[in-house]
Amino acid sequence: MRLNFKFSNLFGTAYKSGNIVFTVNGFGLLSPVGNQINVYDLKRDESITLKVDSYFNLRHICLSPTLGMLLAVNEMGEVSIISLITGAVISVYPLRHPVTAASFSPDGKFIALAKGHCVMLFFVPGARRQLNHLELYRVYYGFNDDVVSVDWSSDSSLFLAGSMDSTCRVFSVHRLKRLIVYTLSGHRNPVVGGFFFKGSMNLTTVSCDGDVYVWETDETLGNLRSDDEDIEKVLFRLSKRYHYISGNGCNIQSLVSAVTFHATLRMLITGFNSGLLMLHTMPEFTTISEIQLFNDPISTLTVNSSGDWIGAGCEVHGQLTVWEWRTQVCYLKAESHAGQMTSLAYSPDGLHLVTGGHDKKVKIWRISSGRALVTFSEHQAAVTGVAFPQLKAKVVLSSSLDGTIRVYDLVRYRNFRTLTVPTRLVQFASLAVDAPGSLVAGGSLDTFEAFIWSVKTGVLLATLAGHTAPISALAFSPDIAGSGIELASVSWDDTLRLWDLTGNSADMHNPASMGSVKEVVHFSHDVLSVAYRGDGKEIALCLLTGDIVFYDPNEGIEKGTISGKRDLGLAQTSEDDLITPKRAGQARKFQTIAYSADGEHLLAAGDSKYICLYSVPDRVLLKRFEITCNMSLDGVQEVHDRRRFLAHFSAESMLAKASQKCSLPIPQTRAGVDRSRREWRPEIHVSSVQFSPTGDAFAATTTEGVVVYSLASAGSGFGLGSHFGQGAQSSWLFDAVGVDEEATPANARLALAEGQQAKALDIAIRLRLQDLVEEVMEAIPADQIDFLARQIPTKQVADYVIPFLARQLGGRSRHVEFYVHWTESILRAHGLKLRRDAATWALVATANTAHQAQNACDTEGKTVEDKMTVSNPGFLTERGEWAACQASLVRLQTSLEKIKTHVIQRFETVDNLWNYLDSVAQLKAAEQSTDAVSLSSTLLPSDSLDDPTIPAALISPPVKRASNSTRGKKKLVRRTKLTA
């Protein structure tokens, strides 16, 4: 198994604090989430997390208008310069003071950072190499309170700064004789924002009490650089005053919490503490629209370059919304879990993820895009467990403290079954479901019992009693051999109980035969979690002491133990701790464990910032994944100040505690912490961890959200370079194996121009640059695809080509038929080799299992073919590439199934349209035939010949030719009728 898991995405948390910004092209939205940044691609409906790894929560982010550069400032004043082409942090500049506002100049040459009562102007780093990336140009003073907003004029010569002292000041970047600094006063309350009009020095300012002032001047931006000393100084005058009025004509009583301005459209966008959003045109202050976006204060606002989309964020519930004001439609509506997440589970196909949290909600996430598909809010208390049946990807189950276990249908997105205990109210703390999805088990928190239901009928089948403490976890045996149904339950009473549920399937109407105890295993401490290996022949349990115990349920023996207490690390949980960090670390423990698909590795996590990956056969730690370095959370800092710890036990501190002038939290409590204190920090914690069924990724629910780690060749997610003209996967993970000096993009394009398609394709695949591979593939004629597909090595097909085709067919390209042709040719040429290597991989895995069971390899009893097969395992078993290849094949199959569904729907639509047009044509033909019959019965044949409005097909020629006198009489009669 490959161990090079890398952080790939963070979802479950849409927004936390700070400001949000749109990308330059207007299709991407950047949202700070703790010490990371989520990037939402609104065009592709995807998201990815930019791993900044700041030591504190981010408060301000701003984008350069000319370069692919992002500036992120955390709450301690550290400025991180990030390249959006590679996603790497270029430099960190410590300002050692909180920053209250940040803004790039329109020409991209300067950046203004508001620090306290002053504004610092820096040169923006360029493409050339330099030692100091942020070079200070000037510092502007004069405010009596913190500066909260900075806005630039369209020519980047002036900037406007608004302060909490109810004033705004206009500063010049360079020293101008006509304007050095100009103070605009008149507001009675702190200023929220001030903005320049495009191409003018006129500006508008907004205060928190809802007053809007418009300031005008007769000067233009081009006349500021005049050196004539006789020219008067620039003067601003207050021309108009406005106040916000709601749609019913009443003044808005709530305060202004956020404001932004679109200079081109001259549109002022204002958010209020009540969650109301209003749009006005300036300087007339005409109301365009208003909408109630949230029920809580709007924390931040932004607008894209075209002015069509407005982004809004709310800190209270972590809500993020993109509103298209022209059509009055919410284009994006993302909402985080209001509380901490408690559990997660992968779908059997590895495409979706389900999470549950303290906010009583169950959310279904699409892993490829990081977006929530649906949210279920039927529970009335915290959700304690979620699960997918192993053989059913369209069914989700969840347990809650409200005493219900609910079953959801992911086809119709509804709760179609609710399971309860009919005799009494029970709080469920754990959940498990068998592989077919026919039986579900729930563990009680207060009655110390486990309950078994039938999902099909909703009938309570059995009550499993015997535990003397709350049941902490449940797990069904995989039942590979089909021998029976076995359930494992662990409890705080230091026991593991194995239950035989085979009687449930034989006699469902006889409760006496349901749920007999097979075995009771006692341990020295409380058991917190349990997990079965994939073959059902081994159980892993984590204890309160931090140990992981492996147990054989068939033989009834303990196979080994991993002592993981030291792997959890040491960290300070709170400044109010009465014990040393070393002593506090002894109380840390694992609370969740998960086996890999092959059963060779085990993930464990709990009261720590680390996720530990262990080797099961060797009982050793292979790797630790640090999920965060955000010291805004408790339990992260590893370096401690001994003087701060001793200060708690000084004479003054003891006297204060004796006089009850300070409060201490109850030990080992999280929800009971006094949150009315001025400073309260959540503690880092991992509540659940799971491997993906495909083996190429794993996910964990943490304090900051759901973190996903995946292999380099998994092919999930997208890069940031697509927003700035670069490749979607460029420079994120680069494998230099097989690359020589001639393998360059220029040589690939040159070979393509010379007609050497095979050479160009080989260079592009070896470089693994998505844009280059796409360019080369789409330039190859259709009649050459079959030939070139056979020339690609099978290893490159498994490592890159299949993931690339899965991405292209997943919605990245419009040339669906072209890439389907490539997929067919690749699978025809290499499908048999891939199947043989997969079979070889399975044979080697079986041989390794037998070797571990016997603790010796009896090579004499094997044939020559067996020796050759085991000694030549094939490339797919090297470093476990088969897991990544299998995951890519699953994604490719899903993409093809979606295309098939869309094609069938298109054909059905065309067929329905054809049937509709055919019925309309038949109806018109019937109406015409009816009209023809009525006309033929009322008109004479000779009249029909002279009437030009009657169709020629309805005219029947006369049988007998009349005489001239007869024709004249008929004409006279007809003329008489027409005259009448």
Question: Based on C-alpha coordinates, what's the Rg of the chain?
Answer: 36
In angstroms, rounded to a whole number, what is the distance separating the alpha carbons of residues 403 and 417? 14
pLDDT in tens, 907-964: 888 888 888 888 888 888 888 887 776 666 555 444 444 444 444 444 444 444 444 4
- Taking alpha carbons only, the member of 243, 306, 311 closest to residue 277 is 311
650, 653, 655, 661 alpha-carbon torsion, rounded to 10°? 180
* The total number of structural domains that make up the chain: 2
In angstroms, rounded to a whole number, what is the distance separating the alpha carbons of residues 116 and 970? 106
pLDDT in tens, 834-853: 777 766 655 555 555 555 55
Burial 220-252 (b: 16+ CB within 10 A, else e): ebeebeeeeeeeeebebeeeeebebeeeeeeeb
In angstroms, rounded to a whole number, what is the distance separating the alpha carbons of residues 595 and 601? 6
- The pLDDT, as a whole number, for residue 875 is 40
Where the chain has pLDDT below 70, the residues are 1-2, 127-130, 226-231, 247-251, 480-483, 503-515, 571-585, 639-680, 712-740, 838-888, 933-980
Question: CA separation (Å) from 902 to 357, 363, 676, 896, 905?
Answer: 35, 26, 54, 10, 5
Q: What is the DSSP letter of 601?
A: E
DSSP string, 808-856: IIIII-S-HHHHHHHHHHHHHHHHHHHHHHHHHHHHHHHHHHHHHHHTS
Let me know: does 42 contact 331? Beta carbons within 8 Å.
Answer: yes
In angstroms, rounded to a whole number, what is the distance separating the alpha carbons of residues 556 and 533? 15
3-state secondary structure of 61: strand
In angstroms, rounded to a whole number, what is the distance separating the alpha carbons of residues 301 and 206? 14
Let me know: does 820 contact 827? Beta carbons within 8 Å.
Answer: no
Neighbours of 678 (CB within 10 A): 4
- Residue 245: beta bridge partners? 251
666, 671, 676, 681 alpha-carbon torsion, rounded to 10°? 90
In angstroms, rounded to a whole number, what is the distance separating the alpha carbons of residues 737 and 731? 15
3-state secondary structure of 883: helix
Q: Is residue 288 part of a domain?
A: yes
- The pLDDT, as a whole number, for residue 416 is 92
Q: Which domain holds residue 954?
A: 941-979
pTM listed for this prediction? 0.73
Q: Is residue 428 part of a domain?
A: no
DSSP string, 361-383: -EEEEETTTTEEEEEE---SS-E
- Taking alpha carbons only, the member of 895, 768, 727 closest to residue 822 is 895
In angstroms, rounded to a whole number, what is the distance separating the alpha carbons of residues 217 and 22? 31
3-state secondary structure of 946: helix
Let me know: does 498 contact 536? Beta carbons within 8 Å.
Answer: no
In angstroms, rounded to a whole number, what is the distance separating the alpha carbons of residues 129 and 540? 53
- The pLDDT, as a whole number, for residue 959 is 45
In angstroms, rounded to a whole number, what is the distance separating the alpha carbons of residues 396 and 394? 7
- The pLDDT, as a whole number, for residue 577 is 59
Helix H, strand E, coil C: the string for 401-437 is CCCCEEEEECCCCEEEEEECCCCCCCCEEEEEECCCC
| Beta strands at 181-185 and 167-172: parallel, antiparallel or unpaired | antiparallel
User: Which of 317, 332, 347 is where one domain is finished?
Assistant: 332
| Beta strands at 89-94 and 78-83: parallel, antiparallel or unpaired | antiparallel
Q: Is residue 911 part of a domain?
A: no
The residue count for the chain? 980
Residue 280's CATH number: 2.40.10.480
Half-sphere exposure of 280 (CA within 13 A, CB side): 21
**Residue with tokens 């890069």, as numbered in its chain:** 719
Q: Is residue 436 part of a domain?
A: no
- The pLDDT, as a whole number, for residue 574 is 58
Question: CA separation (Å) from 886 to 301, 593, 603, 692?
Answer: 43, 24, 21, 12
Q: Is residue 316 part of a domain?
A: yes
Region of 53 please: left (phi>0), alpha (psi -120 to 50) or beta: left
Neighbours of 944 (CB within 10 A): 18
In angstroms, rounded to a whole number, what is the distance separating the alpha carbons of residues 134 and 130? 9
Q: Is residue 82 part of a domain?
A: no
In angstroms, rounded to a whole number, what is the distance separating the alpha carbons of residues 453 and 432? 11
Let me know: does 589 contact 528? Beta carbons within 8 Å.
Answer: yes
Neighbours of 974 (CB within 10 A): 14
* Ranges of H-type helices in 939-963: 941-946
Q: Is residue 471 part of a domain?
A: no
**Residue with tokens 């490829």, as numbered in its chain:** 368
- Taking alpha carbons only, the member of 66, 40, 94 closest to residue 725 is 66
User: Which of 309, 332, 355 is where one domain is finished?
Assistant: 332
- The pLDDT, as a whole number, for residue 792 is 86
C-alpha torsion sign, points 123, 129, 133, 138: negative
In angstroms, rounded to a whole number, what is the distance separating the alpha carbons of residues 80 and 53? 10
Phi, psi of 851 (to 5 degrees): -65, -40
- Taking alpha carbons only, the member of 280, 313, 278, 279 closest to residue 292 is 278
Q: Is residue 285 part of a domain?
A: yes
Region of 8 please: left (phi>0), alpha (psi -120 to 50) or beta: alpha
- The pLDDT, as a whole number, for residue 666 is 46
Let me know: does 695 contact 714? Beta carbons within 8 Å.
Answer: no
- Residue 268: beta bridge partners? 261, 280
User: Which of 332, 360, 375 is where one domain is finished?
Assistant: 332
- Taking alpha carbons only, the member of 90, 41, 35, 43 closest to residue 59 is 35
